[in-house]
C-alpha cells in the first residue's frame, strides 16, 4: 500500500484507518452488494470516517510511483457494471459543466493535444486484489483550469456511457495524479478498461475510478445518489 506522507515510519492512511477500526465500509463488506446491516453501519460510521480521511488527505502531495519493471500487465482484472460500451473515439465528446465559469465540450483529438502525463501506480480494488499499471492521459486539474470552477463548487460527478456514476470531493479531483486516461501501459486504452476515456488515480479505490466517462459535472452539494456502489452501502470517500 502506498504511503502518502513520504515520512519515515509514517502509516499509510488506509492502514491508519484499519488500525483505528474506521476503515472504509467497502473494505468491511468486500465486493458484494449491500445488506441492511451494511447500510446501518455505513450510516453510523461514514461521517466520522469521511472526516478522518479528509483530515489525512494532502491535496497536492504526489503518491510515490513505481518503476517500469514493476508493471503487472495481466493483473488488472475487468469488472463490468453492465454491457461494455463501444464508443467511437472519432465522434466522442467529453462534457464538463455545472458550477464552472467556462463549460467545455472537448474531443479526443483535442485531449491528445494537451500535455500527456504518464504515471505508474497501484490500482487497488475493494475486492482484495491490486495491480501496478501505467496510465497515460490528461491531468484532471488541467481540465479544471480550462473550465474554471466557481467558488461554490465542492463536488464532482462523473457519468459513464454504461450508466455507472461516481462522485468525488473537488480536492481529490484536483490532486496532481488524478488523470483522465486514454493510455494503459503505453498503449491505447482497451475498450474493456474504459476506452476512450477513464478516471485513474492512486488516491482512490478502484470503484471510484469510472470507465467510459462521458460527462463531468461540478456541483455545490452532493445529490441523493452519490454513486453506484455508494448507494449500496460502500464508503463514499474511499481514499487510499
pLDDT tens sequence across 71-87: 999 899 887 667 899 99
pLDDT at 14 over 90: no
CA distance 80 to 210: 11
CA distance 133 to 209: 13
pLDDT at 7 over 90: no
For the whole model, what pTM was predicted? 0.77
pLDDT at 28 over 60: no
pLDDT tens sequence across 30-85: 333 333 333 433 444 455 455 555 555 556 678 999 999 999 998 998 876 678 99
Domains assigned to the chain: 13-232 (3.90.420.10)
Amino acid at each position: 500500500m502506498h504511503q502518502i506522507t513520504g515520512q519515515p515510519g509514517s502509516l499509510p492512511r488506509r492502514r491508519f484507518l484499519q488500525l483505528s477500526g474506521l476503515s472504509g465500509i467497502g473494505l468491511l463488506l468486500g465486493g458484494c452488494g449491500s445488506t441492511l446491516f451494511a447500510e446501518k453501519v455505513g450510516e453510523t460510521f461514514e461521517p466520522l470516517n469521511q472526516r478522518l480521511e479528509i483530515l489525512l488527505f494532502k491535496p497536492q502531495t504526489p503518491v510515490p510511483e513505481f518503476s517500469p519493471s514493476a508493471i503487472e500487465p495481466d493483473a488488472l482484472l475487468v469488472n463490468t457494471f453492465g454491457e461494455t460500451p463501444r464508443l467511437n473515439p472519432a465522434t466522442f465528446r467529453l462534457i464538463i459543466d455545472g458550477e464552472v465559469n467556462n463549460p467545455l465540450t472537448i474531443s479526443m483529438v483535442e485531449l491528445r493535444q494537451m500535455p500527456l502525463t504518464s504515471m505508474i501506480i497501484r490500482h487497488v480494488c475493494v475486492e482484495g486484489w491490486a495491480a501496478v499499471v501505467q496510465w497515460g492521459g490528461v491531468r484532471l486539474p488541467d481540465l479544471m483550469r480550462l473550465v474554471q470552477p466557481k467558488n461554490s463548487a465542492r463536488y464532482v460527478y462523473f457519468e459513464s456511457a454504461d450508466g455507472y456514476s461516481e462522485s468525488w470531493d473537488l480536492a481529490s479531483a484536483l490532486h496532481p495524479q488524478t488523470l483522465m486516461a486514454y493510455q494503459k501501459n503505453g498503449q491505447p486504452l482497451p475498450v474493456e478498461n474504459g476506452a476512450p476515456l477513464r478516471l485513474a488515480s492512486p488516491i482512490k479505490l478502484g470503484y471510484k475510478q469510472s470507465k467510459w466517462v462521458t460527462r463531468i459535472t461540478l456541483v455545490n452539494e452532493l445529490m441523493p445518489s452519490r454513486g453506484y456502489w455508494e448507494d449500496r452501502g460502500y464508503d463514499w470517500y474511499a481514499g487510499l
